[in-house]
Amino acid sequence: MPTTSKRREAVLDIPLELDRSRGNQALQVHAALRAAILEGRLAAGLRLPSTRALARQFRVKRNAVVIAYEHLQSDGLAEARIGSGTFVALLPAPARRPEPAKSVPETVRPLPAGPFALGKTYADPQLLRRLAAVTRRRIMRADDIEFGYGDPRGNKALREQVARYLATSRGFVCDPDCVFVISGTQQGLRLCAEALLSPGDTVWMEEPGYPVSRRTLALAGMTIVPVPVDSEGLDMGAGLATAAVARAAYVTPSHQFPTGVTMTMARRTALVEWARASGAWLLEDDYDSEFRYAGPPLTALAGIGGGDRVIYFGTFSKILGAGLRLAYMVVPPAAVDAVIAARAGHDRFPPGIIAGAVAELMASGFLADHIRRMRRRYRAARDVVVSALEASAGGALSVVKPEQGLHLLALLPAGLPPDAAAVIRERAGVQAWLLSETCVGKPEAEGFVLGFSGHEVAELDAAAVKLGEAGRSYLG
């Protein structure tokens, strides 16, 4: 026996109410539909319900809907298609008053990506293929634990691999239970500020130093005290003279940002002793420790007896790419519970599948091989920039060739006008930080902070020539 199916009548899935004060039912339906069409709530080309279905939806007579549809057609707001139904007509865009452009805060704009931009990572095809394969396999085989709510500290396998890496490469042994997987150093700083510090607490910050971390701690309510950096690192004497009582110090001891200075062992030891004696926290940002081009790896502060007062920050952004939002921090055992409690009020726990994939790459040795390849690539990029700057600047720039890291300094002679560096940068048309932009006060020297990682060598060479020639022309 043949079966028949009744076609389901369409309804308008938008809030549409009749104004009962608008005369008869036909006028009420017409006014409601007309307003919805003109306001864009009923899009051009939309098929309107049948007169029977709309009458049932609005609880009006069907003839009222027929008349309303005819009025809409007369208005040019609807069109009837034989055998198909009634459709909203295509209307010209209504004239609108131009709205003033809203300014986008500097902190939410995408970072520059041109030559000399900082923090760029080379998208290595070999790495991406392997990471994609491992991630896909883990997703396909994921169990309820991986798809459920996780440990606030993050993926256990990655925490274990990070602990092994730090023991062999950075010189300190830590318990994986003290490792936290985070989205970036800035998230870690906020968690630590909330868990271990109080609003108004004084924090020493390197001067010059990393503006993003300075802003993060300031927004967390900390009182920021700039402490000068000299050829040996953070000048503790100056810090004690300015703010004898501080609750924390943010430092980049292995490769100071932006000067590239390595903190001496005497300064490291003194800083750890000060932190232990005063009960202060040392926030050690080891942001590019993997990229050392000469000499043995340096021991982290946490590895020279400061494990009970040092919070160590590391990141995969410089290895894999910032877009993965994958970093880690190691906190002393006594601080673990407080940081876990703080995280409960934020993102609760980090994503686990990508972290597990990265842990697998670390365990297999693939990531270590990738780091060695990138180290060679970035060393070559550094050398190209140094050579091009020295050849094109004609002595106008003093280039500091770093033995570690992913940026270098090109300094201008003393005695130039305050805007000299900005003028030279604009003439060269390059994306580079000025040294003064990393300072709270007036810098002792002015120049350019030039990132060389993740950029094509030819682009770096051309940009270095432009910057060198612009500097020579300005001084000429």
The verdict on residue 111 lying in a domain is no
Q: Would you say residue 110 has pLDDT above 80?
A: no
Indicate whether 174 and 301 sit together in one domain.
yes
Residue 94: the pLDDT is 53
Report how many domains make up the chain. 3
Contacts of 389 (CB under 8 A, 6+ apart): 397, 399, 410, 464, 467, 468
Mean pLDDT of the chain: 89
Better-predicted residue by pLDDT, 107 or 85: 85
Indicate whether 328 and 203 sit together in one domain.
yes
Q: Which of 174-183, 348-357, 460-469 has the lowest mean pLDDT?
A: 348-357
Please state the pTM of the whole predicted model: 0.79
- Give the pLDDT band (50/70/90) at residue 9: low
Indicate whether 345 and 425 sit together in one domain.
no
Indicate whether 238 and 325 sit together in one domain.
yes
Indicate whether 321 and 442 sit together in one domain.
no
Indicate whether 307 and 406 sit together in one domain.
no
Residue 93: the pLDDT is 55
Q: Which of 94-98, 124-128, 151-155, 404-408 has the lowest mean pLDDT?
A: 94-98
The verdict on residue 115 lying in a domain is no
Better-predicted residue by pLDDT, 21 or 69: 69
d(C-alpha 84, C-alpha 90), whole Å: 16
The verdict on residue 112 lying in a domain is no
- Whole-angstrom CA distances from 192 to 224, 335, 346, 399, 408 are 15, 9, 12, 37, 30
DSSP 119-181: T-----HHHHHHHHHHHHHHHHT--HHHHS---TT--HHHHHHHHHHIIIIIS----GGGEEE
Indicate whether 273 and 174 sit together in one domain.
yes
The verdict on residue 98 lying in a domain is no
Indicate whether 375 and 284 sit together in one domain.
no
Which of residues 40, 72, 88 is at a domain's end?
88
Q: Would you say residue 421 has pLDDT above 90?
A: yes
Residues forming a β-bridge with 228: 207
- The predicted-structure confidence for 136-150, as pLDDT tens digits, reads as follows 999 998 887 778 888
Which of residues 51, 68, 88 is at a domain's end?
88
Q: Would you say residue 4 has pLDDT above 50?
A: no
Residue 108: the pLDDT is 47
The verdict on residue 4 lying in a domain is no
Q: Which of 158-162, 174-178, 301-305, 427-431 has the lowest mean pLDDT?
A: 301-305
Which of residues 38, 67, 88 is at a domain's end?
88
- The predicted-structure confidence for 69-103, as pLDDT tens digits, reads as follows 998 888 889 998 888 889 998 876 554 455 555 55
Residue 304: the pLDDT is 84
Domain that holds residue 445: 369-475
Indicate whether 155 and 233 sit together in one domain.
yes
The verdict on residue 140 lying in a domain is no
Q: Would you say residue 1 has pLDDT above 60?
A: no
Structural element, H or E, at residue 409: strand 407-411
The verdict on residue 12 lying in a domain is no
Indicate whether 273 and 333 sit together in one domain.
yes
Q: What are residue 186's phi and psi, to 5 degrees?
A: -65, -40
Highest-confidence segment of 32-46, 66-80, 321-335: 321-335
Can you give the CATH number for the domain in which 328 is found? 3.40.640.10
Can you give the CATH number for the domain in which 48 is found? 1.10.10.10
The verdict on residue 261 lying in a domain is yes
User: Rounded mean pLDDT of 213-218?
Assistant: 96
Q: What are the b/e assignments for 291-301, b being 16+ CB within 10 Å?
A: bbeeeeebebb
Indicate whether 400 and 344 sit together in one domain.
no
Better-predicted residue by pLDDT, 369 or 114: 369
Residue matched to tokens 């043995």:
296
Token pair of 133 as six digits: 């394969």
Can you give the CATH number for the domain in which 454 is found? 3.90.1150.10
Chain centroid, CA 266 distance in Å: 34
User: Rounded mean pLDDT of 261-270?
Assistant: 92
Q: Tell me the HSE value of 280 on the side-chain side, using a 13 A CA sphere.
A: 25
In the chain, the amino acid numbered 317 is S
Query: Could you report how far apart the first and last alpha carbons of the chain are, in Å?
Result: 98
Indicate whether 306 and 180 sit together in one domain.
yes
d(C-alpha 191, C-alpha 193), whole Å: 6
Residue 3: the pLDDT is 46
In the chain, the amino acid numbered 345 is G
Residue 451: the pLDDT is 93
- Give the pLDDT band (50/70/90) at residue 134: very high
DSSP 118: T
- The predicted-structure confidence for 275-330, as pLDDT tens digits, reads as follows 999 999 999 999 888 898 887 777 888 888 767 999 999 999 999 988 899 999 99
